[in-house]
């Protein structure tokens, strides 16, 4: 079993991190379009999307039976499945892999839920180190406004951190929970050398910064011929 | 006060767990669940409330693991973590509440089987220990020990070889027998390592059902009465890799507990095989 560190595969791995409403998914989508147009073979992998684990996570959330421990472990299982069957083989094949959220999400979120920081790090030690990791820094108020304006439905139970009993009001719980995650993220930035992007800047400006960094890291990467 | 192997989960109150946590460990087909079926009514007759639990029985992940194992795309780390999820769910939602309520919790396997399986599949030893470090330390761990040669007929003449129990995922072979022997030998070797590290009480599982049951019963009665442990059976120390063939004819000396000795073959052969395996496996890990 390999432990967290630089991979030596021909592919490249870029990941985005940030609290809900930071705009990271939008930025990753724009990066994806650009890399494809540039002729790279690009594959996207999203947090919490393994088909193998999906039903279990769904059941746990629906019945509100997830504890901080099982919440952490089921997400690690999901990540492991994507790592073993998606991310690693693709990196070996020379693809550019884009991940919406990576292990740093767990490092922030699971720790806020009360799991030990070292325990979570060791749990995810099978992950490869990304070629580039971006952190979209946004003030809590801005992110909250984006989230609450943009959605008609209610905030989900676990999304709002309602399992922590922070508040009976979903919106208030969400605010406190996201605030704590934000604090955790900020601590992880220097530790894991995350490239910080000011997520209050215009979208195009953030994207230009991102592309510049990615471009430098792709200097020697070969472009895969991908069928249109 | 109870202890864990390191990590303490949020909301885990280690005080007031007055019940007893008793683990029955052993490899596939050794007869753990049969023994538990006998132990439960025996305990209940004495007025003890019993919870029995086993791997994959969690409400959260049991079904998901079953489904995942039916496919052919289950990676080794994923499998390990899926089991850890199942274990955590049972620990928090079954085992801990039962211990608080003063039950005797009989668990058919615990973290050790899961660790052994993961390690045999190449998982990092530190990683595996960390993943399960939130587990409660049991009051006793009874390990039903058997050699691969005694195990094989039991499996063949009961349920037959199973894909996962034969380690077909790591030793793809046209022959399930070969694969089973190889995989179980590695697994038994790993169990012997864990037996020392986690202080298992080893019960020889080669005699008939009744004898094994009596051994377990005596051990459990002792745990429930709060008497200190007296080693039932000592695990063979890690003999040098060059165990001579002649060792298989030597009678193993038993500690003075009056227990019948295992056949010498059972005692030495799997260890020797496992050591040879470990020696060749170490380089690839």
| B262: CATH | 3.40.50.300
Give pLDDT, residue B255. 43
Residues pairing with B54 in the sheet: B108
| Residue A161 clears pLDDT 70, i.e. is over it | yes
Helix (H) or strand (E) holding B105: strand B104-108
Residue B9 covered by a domain:
no
Give pLDDT, residue A57. 93
Residue A53 covered by a domain:
yes
Residue B79 covered by a domain:
yes
Q: CB A56 to CB B78 under 8 A? A: no
**How many domains is chain A partitioned into structurally?**
1
Residue B181 covered by a domain:
yes
> pTM for the complete prediction?
0.85
Dihedral sign for Cα A179, A182, A186, A188, please.
positive
Residue B151 covered by a domain:
yes
| B13 touching chain A per CB within 8 A | no
Residue A50 covered by a domain:
yes
Average pLDDT of chain A?
A: 92
Give pLDDT, residue A72. 97
ipTM of the prediction greater than 0.90, yes or no: yes
Token duo for residue B165: 């129990």
d(C-alpha A12, C-alpha A7), whole Å:
9
Token duo for residue B14: 């280690």
Residue A112 covered by a domain:
yes
Q: Which of B10, B86, B115, B119 to mutate to test the interface with A (most CBs of A within 10 A)?
A: B10
Residue B11 covered by a domain:
no
Q: Which residues of B fall within a CB distance of 8 Å from A70? A: 60-61, 85, 88-89, 92
Range of the domain at B63: 20-282
Question: At A106, which CATH number?
Answer: 3.40.50.300
B55-106 pLDDT, tens digit per residue, is 888 999 998 998 888 876 788 999 999 999 999 999 999 999 999 999 999 9
Range of the domain at A188: 12-217
A186-219 pLDDT, tens digit per residue, is 999 999 999 999 999 999 999 999 999 999 999 7
| B78 touching chain A per CB within 8 A | yes
| A66 touching chain B per CB within 8 A | yes
**How many domains is chain B partitioned into structurally?**
1
Nearest CA in chain B to A59: B60
Q: Show the 3-state SS of chain A.
A: CCCCCECCCCCEEEEEECCCCCCHHHHHHHHHHHHHHCCCCEEEEECCCCCCCHHHHHHHHHCCCCCHHHHHHHHHHHHHHHHHHHHHHHHHCCCEEEEECCHHHHHHHHHHCCCCHHHHHHHCCCCCECCEEEEEECCHHHHHHHHHHHCCCCCCCCCCCHHHCCCCCHHHHHHHHHHHHHHHHHHHHHHHCCEEEECCCCHHHHHHHHHHHHHHHCCCCCCCCCCC
H helices present in chain B, as ranges: 32-45, 62-70, 76-90, 96-100, 111-120, 125-131, 148-156, 176-197, 209-225, 264-282
Residue A1 covered by a domain:
no
Q: pLDDT truncated to tens, each residue of chain B (285 aa)?
A: 899 999 999 988 898 899 999 999 999 999 999 999 999 999 999 999 999 999 888 999 998 998 888 876 788 999 999 999 999 999 999 999 999 999 999 999 999 999 999 999 999 999 999 999 999 999 999 999 999 999 998 888 887 888 888 888 888 777 889 999 999 999 999 999 999 999 999 999 999 999 999 999 999 999 999 888 765 555 555 555 554 444 443 444 444 443 444 443 343 344 344 434 444 444 333
In this complex, which of A55, A70, A116 lies closest to B88 when CB atoms are compared?
Answer: A70
Q: Which residues of B fall within a CB distance of 8 Å from A3? A: 124, 127
Instruction: Check: CB of residue A20 under 8 Å from CB of residue A204.
Output: no
Token duo for residue A34: 């650009």
């Amino acid at each position: 079993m390999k432990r967290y560190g630089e991979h030596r595969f021909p592919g490249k791995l870029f990941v985005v991190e940030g609290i809900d409403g930071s705009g990271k998914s939008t930025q990753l989508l724009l990066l994806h379009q650009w890399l494809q147009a540039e002729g790279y073979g690009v594959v996207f992998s999203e947090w919490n999307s393994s088909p193998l684990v999906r039903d279990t996570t769904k059941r746990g959330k629906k019945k509100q039976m997830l504890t901080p421990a099982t919440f952490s472990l089921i997400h690690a299982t999901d990540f492991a499945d994507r790592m073993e069957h998606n991310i690693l083989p693709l990196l070996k094949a020379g693809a550019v892999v884009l991940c919406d959220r990576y292990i740093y999400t767990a490092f922030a979120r699971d720790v806020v839920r009360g799991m030990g920081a070292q325990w979570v790090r060791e749990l995810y030690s099978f992950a490869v180190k990304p070629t580039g990791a971006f952190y979209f820094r946004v003030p809590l108020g801005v992110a909250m406004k984006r989230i609450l304006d943009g959605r008609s439905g209610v905030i989900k139970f676990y999304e709002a951190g309602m399992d922590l009993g922070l508040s009976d009001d979903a919106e208030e719980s969400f605010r406190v929970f996201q605030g704590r995650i934000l604090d955790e993220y900020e601590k992880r930035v220097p530790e894991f050398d995350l490239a910080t992007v000011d997520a209050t800047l215009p979208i195009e400006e953030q994207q230009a910064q991102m592309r510049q960094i990615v471009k430098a890291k792709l200097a020697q990467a070969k472009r895969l011929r991908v069928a249109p | 006060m109870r202890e864990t192997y390191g990590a303490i989960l949020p909301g885990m109150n280690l005080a007031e767990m007055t019940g007893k946590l008793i683990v029955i460990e052993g490899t596939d087909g050794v007869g753990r669940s049969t023994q538990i079926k006998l132990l439960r009514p025996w305990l209940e007759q004495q007025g003890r409330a019993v919870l029995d639990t086993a791997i994959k029985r969690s409400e959260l992940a049991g079904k998901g693991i079953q489904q995942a194992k039916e496919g052919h795309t289950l990676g080794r780390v994923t499998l390990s973590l899926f089991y850890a999820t199942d274990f955590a769910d049972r620990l928090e939602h079954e085992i801990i509440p039962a211990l608080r309520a003063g039950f005797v919790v009989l668990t058919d396997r615990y973290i050790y089987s899961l660790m052994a399986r993961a390690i045999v599949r190449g998982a990092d030893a530190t990683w595996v220990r960390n993943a399960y470090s939130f587990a409660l330390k049991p009051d006793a761990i009874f390990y039903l020990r058997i050699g691969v040669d005694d195990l094989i007929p039991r499996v063949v003449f009961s349920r037959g070889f199973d894909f996962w129990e034969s380690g077909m995922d790591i030793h793809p072979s046209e022959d399930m027998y070969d694969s089973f022997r190889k995989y179980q030998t590695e697994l038994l070797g790993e169990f012997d390592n864990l037996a020392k590290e986690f202080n298992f009480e080893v019960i020889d599982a080669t005699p008939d059902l009744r004898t094994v049951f009596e051994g377990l019963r005596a051990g459990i009665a002792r745990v429930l009465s709060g008497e200190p442990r007296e080693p039932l059976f000592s695990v063979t120390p890690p003999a040098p890799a060059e165990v001579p063939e002649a060792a298989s004819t030597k009678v193993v000396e038993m500690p003075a507990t009056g227990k019948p000795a295992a056949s010498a073959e059972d005692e030495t052969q799997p260890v020797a095989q496992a050591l040879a395996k470990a020696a060749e496996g170490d380089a690839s890990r």
